[in-house]
Amino acid sequence: MSRVIDESTPFDDKYRLDLCIKTGRFSCIYRCTNKYKPDKFVVKIIDYSKLSFDDNLCVGTALKDECQCYERVVHKHIAQIYESYVLSNRIVCLVYEL
């Protein structure tokens, strides 16, 4: 089961970024390693600061809501999200199973 984690649990405290797999306009995908276990994951780091938002929209809440939507998607052909981190009002890290 995945969980949404906020700024109180920094991503960098738990994971080490390894190889950059792919970069895009709004995100980068990396292989990453759990620092406390030998587990390997893939993390998608999304920078929402490059998108324009309506001033009335609470971006932090919208990002947490989006993470929760990703977590509900369960299908044998879709990688399952393990954890998600909202690092700021504009940065989200989605940790997927490898």
Q: Give this prediction's pTM.
A: 0.76
pLDDT value of position 76: 87
Give the residue extent of every domain in the chain: 3-97
pLDDT value of position 23: 92
pLDDT value of position 59: 62
Domain 3-97 in CATH 3.10.20.30? The answer is no
Residues lower than pLDDT 70 in the chain: 1-9, 51-60, 62-63, 89
Residues in Cβ contact with 16 at an 8 Å cutoff, skipping those fewer than 6 apart: 32, 33, 35
Give which of 84, 66, 91, 93 is closest to 1, Cα–Cα: 84
Positive/negative CA dihedral, 19, 63, 36, 76: negative
pLDDT value of position 9: 61
Report percent pLDDT > 70 for the chain: 77
pLDDT value of position 85: 84
